[in-house]
Structure 1
């Protein structure tokens, strides 16, 4: 009956433990060589993780601000494109009206009136634009449209204008409808009362895109287009003279609307420039923080290769010793 001495068992356990430790070390060094980062960060930094924690916290905040800046770029860009579209449409309508000759005839005038209706439909569609499921011009109510349909707006205006026969009367009613507490606020604007939430671009830095569908610039634009659209509306039964006056007044109002839109676009352009500056700054900060983090936890490739070769040699030596020890026997020892 064969037996194994206590010394042999202890030696076997020792060799297995050494084998496991060396394989673990090989795996760690191989991982560090491929990733370029140390696995045991605490040991590498001598137990002081304060600076690394601060860097990683800054990286997290930077990523949050960068995401907000990216969102702000998308929103402000879409707003600028919408304002440009609105300005172009009302400018085109006003230019056509003001270039209408005195002898152009009723057909040409009624055609421009119909164009005014088309402009309102386009304005409503543009101001009801949304980005990533959020309405652009609805203020805080980003889940709802900014304006009611063109049909609803014109229907309420038509009802309010019933019985008016002069330009002065028509304009007074329209001023009231588009003014404070008027029909526009009750029927036309369907967005929120407060502004959209600000976009945070850094510690203490934020950008507000305070443009809503009930802003004065849009009221003035819609008013000029509505004046044109309703000038030849058969339901109002206006005299030909009043129709001509309304259409001409619509052309004049469009000039003021275009100027207001230019100012609004310039203000938005300033906000876009600030957002772009913040985006560039955040990108640079992220790069610096990534470099700082890498320097803290990076593994020296040369040192890692040397240790890897040394560990591999030790493991091979252990295998050689294990093989030789396994070949020992009492008979061989006594020879």
Structure 2
């Protein structure tokens, strides 16, 4: 310990200022550690070996990226599930109406059926053109474009294929042929990519693949039968009433069968949703564990830090008191 009375005034002042600076630096360091919960001298805590800390940081960075990708994948699949639900509801509603209207051989019933079919087709196309996070859901790899054009465009193209056919069987066959022909619906109407969407990485060793586009057989069946129903009462086809009734009835049956296919699609998307949620949970748990390990490496004990801070503050206050007392010393005061 330095005996302050054994040194001169200038040296004493320098010593006091140096000690004051040291204490203020300690207070600044301890205050930082109190506010952040981390030691300021990381190198000293780790003895200069940053390898473990850097490895933890890399793992946390990867998990941050997976957190974003799982959120995006979840948004995508949730939107797809919602749109498939909308399509299924439209198909269900139209199925009931067609089977009901088909029992009445009245022109007004036929007109109502076609109008409803057109409205449901609008809904189906709108659902298929849904975007999530700026990406089209059913365009495959071409996520920047909508998969389908307007209802009018589709009906105009289909009407040209059905013109000249006069029986229920011929009309249904012509529609089926055009939708199945690679040079038909897929080339004329579908605007997306022939390649499915790339798998979405949701963890280091797991990805989710959703190969559903607007050309999926179940979706095309729903579009086809709904579009044909919208055209049944069209004057261009000029179908007799009994043929219209028979066609509506058959389309109702076909759409009822399509609902089973739609359920399978929804189940496929639901399975992907579950995997994404599970991966997000696992990633979150891993991230929490790594953050805990990282904090153990560089964390400052809050109780110890608070005690040290209180001690240093007391030392600084004591030093200020000593400095003031020394500043007031004089020969006159000494001789009194």
TM-score, length-normalised on structure 1? 0.90
Report if aligned partners of 2:75, 2:133 keep a CA contact under 8 Å in 1: no
Deviations 1:84-125 (A, max 9, x none): 111121122122222345444222122112211111111011
Aligned to 2:247: 246
The offset of 1:57, in angstroms, is 1.7
Tell me if 1:32 matches 2:24.
no
Report if aligned partners of 1:231, 1:244 keep a CA contact under 8 Å in 2: no
Tell me if 1:169 matches 2:195.
no
The offset of 1:333, in angstroms, is 7.0
Deviations 1:266-324 (A, max 9, x none): 11111111111112112212221222222222111232133223322332232233223
Report if aligned partners of 1:156, 1:183 keep a CA contact under 8 Å in 2: no
Aligned to 1:297: 298
Deviates more, 1:91-100 or 1:321-330: 321-330
Aligned to 1:112: 113
User: Any residues of structure 2 matched to 1:181-200 within 5 Å, and which?
Assistant: 181-200=182-201
Q: What SS class does the counterpart of residue 236 from structure 2 fall into?
A: helix
The offset of 1:174, in angstroms, is 1.2
Cα distance, 1:97–1:171 mapped onto 2, change above 3 Å: same
User: Any residues of structure 2 matched to 1:195-234 within 5 Å, and which?
Assistant: 195-234=196-235
Aligned to 1:63: 64
Query: Where does the alignment leave 5 or more consecutive residues of structure 2 unmatched?
Result: 1-6
Provide the C-alpha distance between the structure 2 equivalents of 1:66 and 1:115, rounded to a whole number of angstroms. 43
Q: What SS class does the counterpart of residue 181 from structure 1 fall into?
A: coil
Deviations 1:193-224 (A, max 9, x none): 22223221111211112211111111111111
Aligned to 1:273: 274
The offset of 1:225, in angstroms, is 0.4
Report if aligned partners of 1:148, 1:187 keep a CA contact under 8 Å in 2: no
RMSD of aligned residue pairs (Cα, Å):
2.2
How many residue pairs were aligned? 330
Query: Where does the alignment leave 5 or more consecutive residues of structure 1 unmatched?
Result: 1-5
Q: What SS class does the counterpart of residue 195 from structure 1 fall into?
A: coil
Report if aligned partners of 1:117, 1:229 keep a CA contact under 8 Å in 2: yes
Q: What SS class does the counterpart of residue 260 from structure 1 fall into?
A: helix
The offset of 1:18, in angstroms, is 2.2
Deviates more, 1:16-25 or 1:224-233: 16-25
The offset of 1:54, in angstroms, is 1.7
User: Any residues of structure 2 matched to 1:23-172 within 5 Å, and which?
Assistant: 23-100=24-101, 102-172=103-173
Provide the C-alpha distance between the structure 1 equivalents of 2:104 and 2:278, rounded to a whole number of angstroms. 54
Report if aligned partners of 1:28, 1:39 keep a CA contact under 8 Å in 2: yes
Provide the C-alpha distance between the structure 1 equivalents of 2:320 and 2:86, rounded to a whole number of angstroms. 78
The offset of 1:11, in angstroms, is 4.1
Cα distance, 1:72–1:334 mapped onto 2, change above 3 Å: same
Q: What SS class does the counterpart of residue 235 from structure 1 fall into?
A: coil
Provide the C-alpha distance between the structure 2 equivalents of 1:224 and 1:9, rounded to a whole number of angstroms. 101
Deviates more, 1:6-15 or 1:67-76: 6-15
Provide the C-alpha distance between the structure 2 equivalents of 1:275 and 1:206, rounded to a whole number of angstroms. 9
Aligned to 1:320: 321
Q: What SS class does the counterpart of residue 165 from structure 2 fall into?
A: coil
Deviates more, 1:33-42 or 1:227-236: 33-42
Provide the C-alpha distance between the structure 2 equivalents of 1:313 and 1:229, rounded to a whole number of angstroms. 87
The offset of 1:10, in angstroms, is 4.4
Provide the C-alpha distance between the structure 2 equivalents of 1:333 and 1:67, rounded to a whole number of angstroms. 74
Deviates more, 1:285-294 or 1:123-132: 285-294
Report if aligned partners of 1:121, 1:150 keep a CA contact under 8 Å in 2: yes
Report if aligned partners of 1:69, 1:278 keep a CA contact under 8 Å in 2: yes
